[in-house]
Structure 1
Amino acid sequence: MRFTKNKEEYAAYYKSLSPKSPLLRDLTGAFLIGGTICLLGQLLTEGYTALGADKELSATLTSVTLIALGILLSALGLYAKLAKFAGAGTLVPITGFANSMASAAIEFKSEGFILGVGARMFQIAGPVIVYGVSASVVYGVIYWITTLF
């Protein structure tokens, strides 16, 4: 179907088909769940430190634990339910990155390990990695230039 209306008519048509989003509920869910994930991360860091790990090791262990938890919840089908309620609250933390890779791997495992799991795992996470690395290079160059003066 070819759409021949002008931009304003198309925007009105698109808006009429889009579901209305309850903004306050979305913000509250994202804040509560995202905050809970961050609180869990802080508790893990404090726990690892109390067990004798130094600051750097505690941070590493916390990241690994949160990634493993995100993968486990994705495999059990619980992360999608949590994300439906929390929205960006589950997308932004490292658990969201783990979910994006794990859910793609789970979904495409029937296509094999190379063309299914291996290729499709980075379908969502790939652009995040590319732009993350690109931004870090740009910021690194800016930082380097500012330290010259």
Structure 2
Amino acid sequence: MKMTAQEYARRVRRIGPHSPLGLDCLWAFGVGGGICLLGEVLRQSYLAMGVEADLAGTLTSCSLIVLSAVLTTLGWYQKLAAKAGAGSLVPITGFANAVVSAAIEFKAEGRVLGTGAKMFTIAGPVIVYGTLAAVVYGAVLWVLGMAGVPVLS
């Protein structure tokens, strides 16, 4: 049976499940914003305790990483991600979840060859890319500085 693309699309719309794309996007935005709001609440709490601004930012990052790792270990982060979709991929918590998930998955293979080695399957490319990006950005800034172009005031 031959059918046109329009006929196929019509049948898919009629038979396929309805996808609430707008609501899914709104929910993901809310969860991602909630994670960022939690980070800001933590930062403001550290500042209220009298911690310097730079250290407060560092403590906030560390707190979010630890919280994400604990929630991943308990299996709660995966449940959040199943409902929130891309909203749970806020870089700091999403990366911690990815590293801890890989470590948990390969725990049966032992501490060194399982957990120790496999958690870097996610972290390795990120570290390499981050280092390479820093070198490229530094080189660009250096070239611009040598050319007399004002950068970063």
Please give the TM-score of this superposition, normalised by the length of structure 1: 0.81
2:37 aligned residue (26, 36, 39): 39
The residue type equivalent to 1:28 in the other structure is L
Are 2:63 and 1:102 aligned? no
Q: Residue 52 of structure 1 aligns with which residue?
A: 50
What are the equivalent positions in structure 2 for 1:16-35 lying under 5 Å apart? 22-35=20-33
Distance 1:132 1:30, change over 3 A: farther
Mapped contact 2:35–2:90 kept (Cα < 8 A): no
Give the alignment's Cα RMSD to 1 decimal: 2.0
Q: For 2:129, give the aligned amino acid.
A: Y
Identity %: 58
The match for 1:81 is 79
What residue number does 1:134 align with? 132
What is the letter of the counterpart of residue 33 of structure 1?
Answer: V
Contact 1:37 1:93 in 2 (8 A): no
Give SS of 1:52's match.
coil
Q: Deviations over 1:84-139 (max 9, x none)?
A: 12222212330111111111111111101111001110112322222122112111
| Residues 28 and 84 in structure 2, CA contact (< 8 A), matched pair in contact too | yes
Q: Which has the higher contact order (CA 8 A, sep 6+)?
A: 1
Q: How many residues align?
A: 133
| 1:39-86 superposed Cα distances (whole Å, 9 cap, x missing partner) | 110111110000010001100110110000000100110101111122
Report the CA distance shift for 1:146/1:94 in structure 2 as closer, same or farther (over 3 A).
same
Are 1:79 and 1:99, in contact at CA under 8 Å, matched by a contact in 2? yes
Q: Which amino acid aligns with 2:59?
A: L
Q: Which amino acid aligns with 1:48?
A: Y
Match of 2:4 in 1: none
User: Mind listing any 5+ residue stretches in structure 1 that lack a counterpart?
Assistant: 1-15
- Most deviating of 120-129 and 68-77: 120-129
TM-score by length of 2: 0.79
Q: What stretches of structure 2 of length at least 5 have no aligned partner?
A: 1-11, 149-153
Q: Which runs of 4+ in 1 moved over 4 A?
A: 19-22
Aligned partners of 1:102 and 1:121 also within 8 Å: yes
